[in-house]
Amino acid sequence: MTIQIGQTLPDVEVAVVDGESDVQRVATSALFASQKAVLFAVPGAFTPTCSERHLPGYVNHYAEFKARGVSVYGMAVNDAFVMKAWAASQRVPAGLKLLADGNGSFAKALGLEMDGSAYGLGMRSRRFALYAENGIVKQLYVESPGELRVTTAEAMLAAIPH
């Protein structure tokens, strides 16, 4: 079942990639506690829409989220090595953290996994974005297949409280 507004984010261990430090394994309950956060997810690092439009929007608008006191996390069902290389290739600023959900455990716990086997991708995350306060989902947007509208950085900036 897909996570709903008002529910607490599930507690799953993920690898956190941040330009400020080495990769660290962190429980999502600790990661999202005591803060306002946007979590956006992509089907895969280095895939066309994700690399050309989705992540770059968050890179370009990161300062606006930061100015509002909102942390930003991007997630993909990829290993930490891939996510670290993707962060470097996309010039992800320090502070914008990428989450490596290598086995898809977090995506599955959120009820937002998808089967990309027809495209040689295996199990992945659906493209979504959510806004949470203190680990509680306040807003959730899930894209229809093939679309990038409601989960962009611009859409999230317009949707979250100022």
Quote the CA–CA distance of 108 and 9 in Å, as a whole number.
Answer: 12
Q: Classify burial at 13, counting beta carbons within 10 Å of its beta carbon; exposed 0-12, middle 13-18, buried 19 or more.
A: middle
Positions marked catalytic:
50
Q: Classify burial at 51, counting beta carbons within 10 Å of its beta carbon; exposed 0-12, middle 13-18, buried 19 or more.
A: middle
Quote the CA–CA distance of 119 and 60 in Å, as a whole number.
Answer: 29
Q: How many beta carbons lie within 10 A of that of residue 151, not counting itself?
A: 25
